[in-house]
Amino acid sequence: MFIKQVYQYQHDFWRYLIGVIAVVAGIIIGQIPLTIAIFLKYKGEIFGMEETEMMQGFDSNYFLFLMLLTFVGGLIALFLIVKYLHQQPIKALTTSRPKIDWSRFWFAFGLVSIFIVVNTIGDYYSNPQDYEWNFRITPFLILCAVGIVLVPLQTSFEEYFFRGYLMQGIGVMAGNKWAPLILTSVIFGGLHFFNPEVTKLGNTIMIYYIGTGFLLGIMALMDEGIELSLGFHAANNLLTALIVTADWTAFQTESIFKDVSEPSAGWDVLIPVLVIYPIYLFIMAKKYKWTNWKEKLFGKVEPPAYPNVTEEN
């Protein structure tokens, strides 16, 4: 139902094409403050610089704030396109339920938060040499303010765009569920190719990014909405930003700890995808009584017998 309900609204191919262009334009507009700040800071010296080098010239909280504004621009553009071009309520972009189930959001948020905290504490006591105490009260409180407000907007943009907008759009065009699951997951992971983590760890880290895309896509299809993926993604990015930072990550923050170990893309990449993610899905499947996996992940998407809205000729 999450994909099929789009047949009630304006779902022509050209609308999705314009929508994607508009979202990209929103991202570019949202990036203007960051671009101006970088230009004023480095002027002509910007060419050839890596992203991590640019970050180091700024206060980390200020840079994070400017970077996250990029996604705010994209989210605003997406919501405007959905409302006015597709004439679709945001609720229908979020869920197939009568109303958005925020308890699902908070369940996923809490589950991921507990795992991150427990895993970090365990690793800290097992490998204390890999961590430095990075806590400073004032910068950390500023980070909390920036993170709590803007990180959920960043993750919400990615979820609404990939697991909502593109999942629904590709689903009605392809007439099935497996095509949007695969395409949105690969595109989502592929866009992380330019993250500094890839430069440091190599292309193997892409397994993690694409695998995360599949996890979030499976959540959306099995649960008939993106509330769980919204909570999962928000907790993952926010808790990571607050607890641990490193010199080679996309989020360099005033976190509690700094990871000073030499990173490697081995089992650290495979274990989350092959072990931890299936555990997440198992817990959610049990709690929300997911059934009929084959149909929900690979079934057809067909228009209802009497759709409320038809495509324009």
**Tokens 């929900």, residue?**
296
- Lateral strand order in the sheet of 244-245: 131-133, 257-259, 244-245
Query: Averaged over 265-293, what is the pLDDT?
Result: 90
pLDDT digit string, tens, across residues 158-175: 999 999 999 999 999 999
CA 229 – CA 157 distance, rounded (Å): 12
Instruction: Please report, in angstroms and rounded to a whole number, the separation of the first and last CA atoms in the chain.
Output: 25
pLDDT at 310 over 60: no
pLDDT digit string, tens, across residues 17-32: 999 999 999 999 999 9
DSSP-assigned states of every residue in 102-170: HHHHHHHHHHHHHHHHHHHHHHHHH-GGGEEE---HHHHHHHHHHHHHHHHHHHHHHIIIIIIIIHHHH
The residue ranges of every structural domain in the chain are 4-298
Tokens of residue 67, six digits = 């970077």
pLDDT at 196 over 50: yes
Burial label for 179, CB within 10 Å (0-12, 13-18, 19+), is: middle
Task: Provide the residue type at 44 as one letter.
Answer: G
At residue 308 the predicted structure's pLDDT band, cuts being 50, 70 and 90, is low
